[in-house]
């Protein structure tokens, strides 16, 4: 293993489109913050990161740029991603270690080799060594306590910020999977576009997220449908302030297409499996995790359309990071789940 393996701190990062979580071996999850950074437009210095940077969104002066370096699970701004990764590495470690950290990263199943290489490159530039890559769905399944080390079919549906990962895992490996770039941020965009198109109301990202969290639902429900929220923004016609009372039924209608795409992806994945695997999943159920798991009624919608019971993970937002953590705490047991590591 050498000095690097003995003395280097082990750190795992779930670098998501919406949120970044950092797990340090022996300490647990030490960082949980939005994947956003605020910089000075002139010298590119970092002004804020995470929650503080998110608070500036839509309120910042002209010399401050608020950037989201990932879109749909893919790095869209390498320079910003590097700065953010460097920040979370420094914050996660607390102090500069004697040896560079060993880093484990989770990536979406649908990521290309180019996208994977880009992530490894910025991790190296940020100061990490011995970089290992694991499948995001496998990490989530481990974090949700699914028995993926056994010859049984386990299905996990991870609805994150940028992608929805549907995977069937057995004996440490992915048997079948699909990754679609329809997830939390796509839903936020849909809400913003719908309000602009149908009501002439312009809203910011944080307002769209608040609408999704408070009123979003996947099923007709007498109580959810009549819940209301006063939404403030700007008129697309006059440019003046505008208020709108929004009901749950309206938000449900806005997001119907996204819910249908997620359900369809689950159904397509099931259709490609052997009868034995389908039987396992029917017996054990489907595990739902990620931020999308918290949307009301989505678990029941998937269950209705597939005929299979759907469990929601106890800590759906943390599943990937917790899975990475279990791997870091017992590398020998989980050695078979690594995809690759940087040379």
Identify whether residues 75 and 207 lie together within a single domain. Answer: no
- Inter-CA distances, 125 with 23, 86, 122, Å: 20, 8, 5
Angle between helices 319-329 and 136-143 (to 10 degrees): 80
- Quick: pLDDT tens for 303-325: 999 999 999 999 999 999 999 99
For residue 301, CA distances in Å to 8, 140, 226, 305, 306 come to 46, 21, 19, 6, 9
26 and 105 inside one domain: yes
Same domain, 58 and 24: yes
Distance (Å, whole) CA 143 – CA 29:
12
Looking at the structure of the chain, the number of domains it has is 3
Q: Are residues 166 and 117 in the same domain?
A: no
Nearest to 187 by CA among 158, 211, 165: 211
Residues 112 and 13 in one domain: yes
Q: Is 268 helix (H, G, I), strand (E, B) or coil?
A: helix
Strands 154-159 vs 286-289: parallel, antiparallel or unpaired: parallel
* CATH number of the domain bearing residue 204: 3.90.640.10
pLDDT average, residue stretch 200-220: 96
pLDDT, residue 1, reads 47
289 occurs within a structural domain:
yes
Q: What's the mean pLDDT in 228-235?
A: 97
Per-residue pLDDT for 254 more than 60?
yes
pLDDT for residue 343: 41
285 with 306, same domain: the answer is yes
Q: Over pLDDT 70: what percentage of the chain?
A: 96
Domain boundary among 215, 247, 279: 247
Could you report the per-residue pLDDT of 121-162, keeping only the tens digit for each? 888 888 888 899 999 999 999 999 999 999 999 999 999 999
Of 134, 165, 81, nearest to 324 by C-alpha is 134
* Gap between the Cα atoms of 239 and 247, Å rounded: 24
pTM of the prediction?
0.91
- Asked if residue 262 and residue 155 are part of one domain, the reply reads yes
Identify the domain containing residue 287 by its residue range. 147-182+257-312
């Amino acid at each position: 293993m050498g000095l690097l393996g003995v003395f280097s701190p082990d750190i795992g990062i779930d670098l998501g489109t919406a949120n970044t979580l950092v797990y340090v071996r022996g300490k647990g999850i030490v960082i949980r913050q939005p994947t956003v950074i605020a910089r000075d437009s002139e010298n590119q210095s970092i002004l804020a990161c995470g929650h503080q940077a998110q608070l500036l969104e839509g309120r910042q002066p002209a010399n401050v740029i608020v950037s989201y370096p990932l879109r749909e699970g893919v790095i869209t701004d390498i320079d910003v991603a590097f700065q953010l990764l460097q920040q979370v590495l420094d914050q996660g470690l607390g102090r500069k270690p004697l040896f560079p950290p060993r880093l484990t990263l989770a990536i979406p199943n649908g990521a290309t080799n180019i996208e994977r290489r880009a992530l490894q490159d910025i991790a190296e530039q940020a100061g990490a060594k011995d970089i290992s890559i694991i499948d995001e769905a496998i990490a989530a399944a481990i974090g949700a306590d699914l028995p993926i080390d056994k010859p049984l079919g386990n299905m996990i549906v991870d609805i994150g910020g940028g992608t929805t990962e549907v995977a069937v895992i057995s004996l440490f490996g992915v048997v079948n999977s699909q990754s679609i770039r329809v997830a939390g941020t796509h839903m936020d965009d849909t809400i913003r576009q719908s309000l602009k198109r149908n009501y002439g109301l312009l809203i910011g990202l944080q307002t769209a997220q608040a609408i999704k969290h408070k009123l979003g639902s996947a099923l007709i429900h007498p109580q959810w449908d009549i819940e209301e929220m006063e939404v403030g923004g700007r008129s697309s016609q006059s440019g003046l302030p505008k208020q709108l009372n929004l009901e749950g039924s309206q938000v449900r209608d806005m997001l119907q297409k996204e819910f249908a795409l997620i359900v369809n992806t689950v159904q397509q994945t099931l259709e490609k499996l052997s009868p034995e695997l389908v039987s396992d999943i029917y017996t054990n159920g489907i595990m739902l995790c990620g931020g999308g798991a918290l949307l009301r009624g989505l678990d029941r919608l998937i269950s209705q359309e597939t005929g299979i019971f759907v469990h929601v993970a106890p800590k759906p937002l943390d599943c990937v990071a917790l899975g990475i953590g279990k791997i870091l705490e017992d590398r020998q047991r989980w050695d078979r789940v690594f995809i690759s590591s940087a040379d």
